[in-house]
Amino acid sequence: MPEIGEVARIVHYLHIHLVGKTLAVIKAQHDENVFGKVGTSAAEFEKALTGKKVVGARQQGKYFWLVMSSPPHPLFHFGMAGWWKIRNHETAYYKPSKHDESTWPPKYWKFTLQTAEPPKSEHAFVDSRRFARIRLIDCAAEEMRNVSPLKENGPDPVIDKDILTEEWLVQKLQTKHVPVKALLLDQANISGIGNWVGDELLLDAKIHPEQYSNTLTPAQMKQLHKSIHYVCSTAVELRAESDKFPETWLFKHRWGKGKKDDPQRLPNGEKIKFLTVGGRTSAIIPSIQKKTGDVKADLHGSSEENEGSDEDEEAIPKKAKKAARKNQKAKDEDEPETDGKPAKPAAAKSKKRAVKDEEEPEAKPAPEDEPPPSKRAKAKPKAESNGIPKTEANGAKASKLSKRRAKEADSAPPKTNQPQEQETEEPSRRRRAERVSYAGM
């Protein structure tokens, strides 16, 4: 996600290529996430800005906006993957575009604009993940920071140094009981600090990211205040040009996570570890960022080792996680739950059943609520050496069948000793014989 330094880079380019020029042509394609979720539409955006002059470009944290010759003023937030492109000029520095820039408009564009004055400048706002937001703020230019959403955001560490003082920060830290990195990532507290900036300034302050904010010592809070201003100011002044960042910064060495050929160490040999804080992956140096107070993971039964050890902050390796999941899955398959109680493994059941069949000749009768035969597994009843069915249920069935056959035999007419040919004679011949016998009576 673009943070305070990356947004400052775009504002810099806007001052060079857009401020002081009139917007002659604007084309926008509606995106319900980018425009609609903040009460704007592509058509409204086109109508509000076409023909107006851009008189300024400003920033607060991760937000930036264009100051127009008259309201409304467009306010932008890049979200996770948004960016501002200028035709024939590379605005990105440490993350070059993966898409072919020979075609215009670029892929994932949300709006494009073209200036009237020569040399004409073409711009495009792009966002592949659709988390960016584009608003129209209808207020005086000097009131932009006093209306939503800017007024709900905390002070900017670079432009609001008179607000973000050491006393202000101490009060903020002491009145909240959250991991210090989670506090820094919350834009309602401080604007512009994102994941990598937060890791950088916590390393500079030698503070563990999971430690609760209200457990920091006065010396730690004092140093954290200095680190916030140092890291944020450096990122903005260098316009996020990572090649110019200090060699000791995590930014230049952290991106090899998960790659076998990357040592993931600082130039001085310090090993980089990763853990999750505030829902984000954090890079830390365990030997420097030691725990000096309550840490959320420890209070919830973490199995981490002592402070400062290599294993202390290390996230579980992917292979170990995969093996653990595989073992758990195998265990779950071997021990399925039946009526809330774990059943015994299938192999053990089969073996026990075989032994039971040998030791116990009589089996328990089937339950009365047994499912229909069509849904039960088909199996022939086992018989003893004398041919009698083994189970009592089968014995009852055999007895019932014998009684039915005996009853049918009693009701059947007696058999005669006539030859087979007589039984098969034609019906007409039998009827004539019967009439003759009746006539003789």
Segments in 278-345 forming alpha helices (H): 296-299, 318-334
Distance, CA of 333 to CA of 346 (rounded, Å) = 10
Residue corresponding to tokens 């539409």: 41
End-to-end alpha carbon distance in the chain: 117
Give the phi and the psi of residue 414 in degrees, each rounded to 5: -65, 150
Using the 8-state DSSP alphabet, how is residue 255 labeled?
Answer: G
Helix (H, G, I), strand (E, B) or coil at 395: helix
Phi first, then psi: give them for residue 404, nearest 5 degrees.
-65, -40
The DSSP annotation for 89-132 comes to B---SSS---S-TTSSSPTTEEEEEEESSSSP-EEEEEESSS--
Q: Which amino acid is it at 315?
A: A
Residues marked active site are found at 2-3, 62
- What lies within 8 Å, CB to CB, of 264 at 6+ separation is 253, 254, 256, 257, 271, 272
Give every CB contact of residue 96 below 8 A, 6+ residues apart in sequence.
90
H/E run at residue 66: strand 63-68
Rg (CA), the chain: 41
